[in-house]
Each structure stands twice: as structure tokens, then as C-alpha cells.
């Protein structure tokens, strides 16, 4: 079993990494090692630049010296052109890591007589490879060698001999060729003798150009078969793999603030999920960019980075406009926590926009990305193309755990505001809808959460206010007349306050009347009590007098009996102080 595993491992195709961003991912690790690769395309599509960067990256990153043999450009021209990409070829030549050679081929000097071969080229190539220990070779371009030749048999034989010779030398080679009419190259032969064929395309649609790359074939290896956009800029050649990234990205339970406290409350009290995709749609002037700006400002307060792609306003215009609602974004820009990338949508094609965004995200490594607005991209492609591009962007950002906020302009004449021009609402995790509410001769803004996956959220429409103190979200008035906002809400609130005040005054008057009655009752009770106490004292006095009179009469009777010398007198007191005679 161990032996079987070893055999499987040995059968895997060795590859030479290009070091070009994205290309190694598409090709599954690089170009076939020790084999030739054909790079073909029309003029100006970037064939030579790809070859130069392949050599430079090999020398700098993988310690593999290279040879560039050009049949069209002089070495000094190649050095100057490469310098625009940040590559110093002169330094590499001085370090024996790069060999530049120019073979002059003039059409008017070529006459097809007798045998024609490339023996002289083999000698020069062999010297260059041996003198530098080269592992990589670029031949630019192959058609120049066969200018004026019409014998297809000779062409095929010499090409096959060249390919076999390069394989025998064990170098990884790139051969560039001009695209033909209906064929990959002018002669239509190179693709049959190359192990890997890459086609570069520079197309212009509706006056917008886009560069694309496609791996047509790759013997012995799987590879990406789609068309991939690529860029050539000051940092070199970069390819964006835009095939489906699947749905295997990680998710987070962490919540981050929207920057507006009451909006956080509408989203379960904690804001958006980190790494989620948020859509803010609405008609013009409803405050979409303002919500986006408050979101990136909250991220800056947390010390997080934000990348803001603006397709309508310049960075300075956005900063100025946000000051009018109490928000200053300039400190965040100066601290390096906020970066603006502003351009018109028609500057690039859709795929190039996607490649630029991919590049900026890779370089800046943001926590938050804002695209404002995505609806403008529809000017550079059809709704289906825009949706496809945005789907790839959403997948890419989710794979990086980046929270993305997209704004979208809704057309006032749309049948329903609960849809977008590019139809991407279904792939969004949270959707906020801003709308105009026209009542009483004025227009006011309303906000509600259309959906927010994975959390309980408010289902109420709130009034959305932009003031010089910032964003204010207030409860709307809902009554018999419907939803009231703005002046009508203020008038209704004033009426309700007046009614509340009147009811309060009536309650206070009733309380005062009750208090007066209580005081009067207590006064009556006090008077009756005083009268009762007076009568009680008078009756007690009279009872006391009557008791004393009875006692006196009894005493008088006893005294009278004594004076008459009764036979036997027994005088004693009873319980009533009376005198009993026995």
C-alpha cells in the first residue's frame, strides 16, 4: 500500500510556480515544469509582460535564473517597459539572474531557399542557459522566426524540434504568439506541440475594455477553464480567479454596530453579523450613503479598517457632505483606517472592476467594504452580467470574513421598491429599505428592515431623519389616518400633547374638588365631635349633681331616724351609696 501511494505521488505533474497573483491558483500550482507553455493573443493584450514577470518572479522568489530572447523589442526597450511595472531588469542582469538577448529578424532579408533551421537560435539559447544556469526561458514572439516562410511542413518540423530541444534542456519555457484569424496563432500550429496553452484577450465592448485570460489546455493537470479578468498595473500582472467559490465559507456569531444606535436596536440590539452582506436600497436622496458612512465611522472607532468603493462621488465630496450631518471622516482617512477608491463605472469593464476590488482588498486587508452604489455598474454590462460579477464579489468577501455593505438606487417608477435593478437581494443577509413618504405636501424618509437572516428584527417603519447632529431614527405615528411623518406627525403629536394636557388639567380639577369636599367633611366631623363632647360634659355634670342630691337625701333620712331614736338602726352603704335601715 505504501508503494502504491509512492507511485501515485511520483505520477503527479511537477509544476513551476509563476509567482503571478491568481495565475498559480488557476493552473493548480503553476506552469508545467520543464515543459513549454504557449501564451497567445492579439497585440497589446499583455503577452510580453506576462513572460517578463514570469522570469522576474522566478529569479526573485524561487531563485531560478531566466533567459529572455526577444525577436521584436530591443533589450533597452524591454528594460524600460518592465520598469513601469516596478521591475529592475538591469539589476537582475548584473546579478546573473537574467539574460537578455535580441535576435534581429528582418522580413526583407529572409529568402526561403534550401533547408531552413533554427540551429543558430539553439546555439545562442544554449549559451544563455549555460552562462546563467537558467531554469526559465521566454521566447517573444514565435511568429518573427518564420516571417516569410510558406512551407507548413518546414514550420511544423522546426517548431517540434524547438519544443523538444527546450524539453531536453529541462527549462520551463513560455513561447508567445500572435493570435490568428480563427486560430490561436497565425500559423495555427503551436497549440499542437505545447503542453499548456494560455490565451490572453483584450476586448472592447461599448467603448469599455476588459482583459481576460483563459487556460485552453493543460496536459496532465486539471485547471480553471473559465475566463478570468486580469490587470496590468504598477505592481505587475495579476489574475482574479472568479469561478464559484462554493458555500463552504466560515460564519461568525459576532455582531458589529451599524453606527446608529436605534438601527442597532431594530436589528436585535446588536447590529449586523460580522462577515455578512448588507444591502441598503432606496430612491435618490434617501440617505443610503449616509448610512454607509456611519457604518465605516463606527468601524474606525473600533480600530478596524474600511475600504470604500465610490462610483458617484469623489472622496473629498463624500467627506464634505458627511460633515453636514455631524460626521467627520477625515481623521479616519489620515489614520489609515479608511481608504476611498473612487472611479466612474465606465472606467473599466465589469471584470476589471472585480479584479481591481480583489487587488485592493488583498493589499489593504479591510474589515469593512462598502460599494456605493452597485446600481451604477449596470451601465457597464447587462443585469445578468452585473449580478454574476456581484455574486463573485460577495462570495470572495465572505470567504475573507469581510462585512460588506452595498447601496443600490431604486427607480421611482419600479412596480415595487422591494426589488433592485440588478436583482441581488436574494444573496444578501440583511436588507434595509429607505423610502420617501409623501404626506401633507412634503416628502419625508422612512426606514424599515426588509430582512435580516439569523436574528430577530423590527418589522416597524421608522422615520429616518438627517440632521446637523447626525442620523435620528424616530417612531412614526400610526393612527386612523395611517402612517404620519414630518410636519403631520409633529402636528398630530402637538394635538395629542394638548389633549393630554387638557385631560391632566381635568384630573387635577377633580382632585381639587375632592380635596375641598374632604376638608369640608372633616370640618363637619370636627364640629359634630366638638358638639358631642360639649353635650357629653353637660350630661355628666348633671348626672353628678343628681347623684350628689340622692346621696344627700339619704343622709338626711338617716339623720332624721337617729333624731327620733329608732329601736335599732343599722346604717350601711350599698353599692349605690344609699343607706339601709334594719
Residue 168 in this model has a pLDDT that exceeds 80: yes
203-212, 329-338, 483-492, 530-539: segment of lowest average pLDDT: 483-492
Q: Which is more confidently placed, 279 or 348?
A: 279
Asked about 64 being catalytic, the answer comes back as no
Instruction: Give the closest residue to 327 by CA, choosing from 337, 319, 316.
Output: 319
**Contacts with 289 (C-beta within 8 Å, 6 or more apart), sequence order:** 313, 318, 321, 372, 407
Q: Which is more confidently placed, 506 or 155?
A: 506
Pick the catalytic residue from 304, 312, 330, 360: 312
What average pLDDT does range 169-190 have in this prediction?
A: 80
Is residue 360 within 8 A of residue 354, CB to CB? The reply is no
What average pLDDT does range 162-175 have in this prediction?
A: 90
Helix or strand run (H / E) with residue 409: strand 403-409
The three cell numbers of residue 509 are: 380639577
The radius of gyration of the chain's CA atoms, rounded to the nearest angstrom, is 48
Q: Alpha helices, DSSP H only, in 254-346? A: 261-266, 288-301, 315-323, 330-334
Q: Which is more confidently placed, 147 or 379?
A: 379
Residue 416 in this model has a pLDDT that exceeds 60: no
Q: What was the pLDDT predicted at 179?
A: 79
What angle, 0 to 180 degrees and rounded to 10, lies between the N-to-C axes of helices 383-399 and 350-364?
Answer: 10
Highest mean pLDDT: which range of 161-170, 303-312, 480-489: 303-312
Q: Which is more confidently placed, 31 or 188?
A: 31
Segment 191-246, tens digit of pLDDT = 666 789 999 988 777 666 778 899 988 988 888 778 888 878 777 888 876 544 45
Q: Which is more confidently placed, 95 or 118?
A: 95
Asked about 76 being catalytic, the answer comes back as no
Domains delineated in the chain: 12-239 (3.40.50.300), 255-475 (3.40.50.300)
Residue 305 in this model has a pLDDT that exceeds 80: yes
Residue corresponding to grid cell 339619704: 554
What average pLDDT does range 325-343 have in this prediction?
A: 94
DSSP letter assigned to residue 14: P
What average pLDDT does range 348-352 have in this prediction?
A: 78
Q: What was the pLDDT predicted at 28?
A: 87
Residue 381 in this model has a pLDDT that exceeds 90: no
What average pLDDT does range 553-563 have in this prediction?
A: 82
73-77, 148-152, 305-309, 395-399: segment of lowest average pLDDT: 148-152
Does the predicted model carry a pTM greater than 0.75? no
Pick the catalytic residue from 72, 73, 418, 557: 72
Q: What was the pLDDT predicted at 162?
A: 83
Counted residue by residue, the chain has a size of 582
Q: What was the pLDDT predicted at 445?
A: 87
Quick one: how far is CA 225 from the chain centroid?
Answer: 29
Amino acid at each position: 500500500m505504501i508503494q502504491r501511494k509512492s507511485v501515485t505521488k511520483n505520477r503527479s505533474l511537477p509544476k513551476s510556480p509563476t509567482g503571478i497573483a491568481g495565475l498559480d491558483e488557476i493552473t493548480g500550482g503553476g506552469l508545467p515544469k520543464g515543459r513549454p507553455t504557449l501564451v497567445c493573443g492579439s497585440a497589446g493584450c499583455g503577452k510580453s509582460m506576462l513572460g517578463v514577470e514570469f522570469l522576474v518572479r522566478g529569479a526573485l522568489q524561487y531563485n531560478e535564473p531566466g533567459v529572455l530572447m526577444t525577436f521584436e523589442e530591443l533589450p533597452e526597450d524591454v528594460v524600460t517597459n518592465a520598469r513601469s511595472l516596478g521591475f529592475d531588469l538591469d539589476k537582475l542582469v548584473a546579478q546573473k539572474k537574467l539574460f537578455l538577448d535580441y535576435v534581429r529578424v528582418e522580413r526583407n532579408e529572409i529568402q526561403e531557399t534550401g533547408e531552413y533551421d533554427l540551429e543558430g537560435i539553439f546555439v545562442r539559447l544554449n549559451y544563455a542557459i549555460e552562462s546563467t544556469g537558467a531554469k526559465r526561458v521566454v521566447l517573444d514572439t514565435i511568429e518573427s522566426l518564420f516571417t516569410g516562410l510558406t512551407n507548413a511542413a518546414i514550420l511544423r518540423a522546426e517548431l517540434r524540434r524547438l519544443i523538444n530541444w527546450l524539453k531536453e534542456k529541462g527549462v520551463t519555457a513560455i513561447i508567445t504568439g500572435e493570435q490568428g484569424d480563427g486560430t490561436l496563432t497565425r500559423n495555427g500550429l503551436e497549440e499542437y506541440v505545447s503542453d499548456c496553452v494560455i490565451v490572453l484577450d483584450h476586448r472592447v465592448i461599448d467603448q469599455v475594455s476588459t482583459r481576460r485570460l483563459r487556460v485552453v489546455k493543460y496536459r496532465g493537470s486539471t485547471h480553471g477553464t473559465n475566463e478570468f479578468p486580469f490587470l496590468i498595473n504598477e505592481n505587475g500582472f495579476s489574475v482574479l480567479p472568479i469561478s464559484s467559490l462554493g458555500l463552504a465559507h466560515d460564519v461568525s456569531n459576532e455582531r458589529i454596530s451599524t453606527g446608529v444606535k436605534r438601527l442597532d436596536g431594530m436589528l436585535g440590539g446588536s447590529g449586523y453579523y460580522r462577515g455578512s452582506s448588507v444591502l441598503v436600497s432606496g430612491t435618490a436622496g434617501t440617505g443610503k450613503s449616509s448610512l454607509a458612512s456611519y457604518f465605516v465611522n463606527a468601524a474606525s472607532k473600533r480600530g478596524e479598517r474600511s475600504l470604500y468603493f465610490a462610483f458617484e462621488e469623489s472622496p473629498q465630496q463624500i467627506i464634505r457632505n458627511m460633515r453636514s450631518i455631524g460626521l467627520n471622516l477625515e481623521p479616519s482617512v489620515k489614520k489609515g483606517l479608511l481608504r476611498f477608491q473612487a472611479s466612474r463605472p465606465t472606467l473599466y469593464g465589469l471584470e476589471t472592476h472585480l479584479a481591481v476590488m480583489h487587488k485592493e482588498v488583498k493589499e489593504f486587508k479591510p474589515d469593512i467594504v462598502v460599494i456605493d452604489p452597485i446600481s451604477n455598474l449596470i451601465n457597464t454590462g447587462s443585469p445578468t452580467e452585473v449580478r454574476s460579477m456581484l455574486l463573485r464579489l460577495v462570495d470572495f468577501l465572505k470567504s475573507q470574513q469581510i462585512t460588506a455593505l452595498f447601496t443600490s438606487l431604486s427607480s421611482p417608477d419600479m412596480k415595487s421598491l422591494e426589488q433592485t435593478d440588478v436583482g441581488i437581494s436574494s444573496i444578501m443577509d440583511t436588507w434595509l429599505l429607505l423610502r420617501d413618504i409623501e404626506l401633507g405636501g412634503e416628502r419625508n424618509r422612512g426606514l424599515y428592515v426588509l430582512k435580516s437572516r439569523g436574528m430577530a428584527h423590527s418589522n416597524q417603519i421608522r422615520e429616518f431623519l438627517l440632521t446637523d447632529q447626525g442620523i435620528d431614527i424616530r417612531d412614526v405615528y400610526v393612527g386612523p389616518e395611517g402612517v404620519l411623518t414630518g410636519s403631520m406627525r409633529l402636528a398630530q403629536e402637538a394635538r395629542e400633547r394638548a389633549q393630554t394636557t387638557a385631560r391632566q388639567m381635568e384630573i387635577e380639577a377633580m382632585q381639587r374638588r375632592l380635596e375641598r369636599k374632604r376638608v369640608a367633611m372633616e370640618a363637619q366631623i370636627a364640629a359634630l365631635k366638638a358638639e358631642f363632647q360639649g353635650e357629653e360634659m353637660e350630661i355628666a355634670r348633671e348626672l353628678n349633681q343628681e347623684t350628689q342630691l340622692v346621696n344627700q337625701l339619704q343622709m338626711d333620712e338617716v339623720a332624721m331616724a337617729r333624731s327620733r331614736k329608732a329601736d335599732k338602726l343599722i346604717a350601711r352603704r350599698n353599692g349605690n351609696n344609699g343607706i339601709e335601715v334594719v
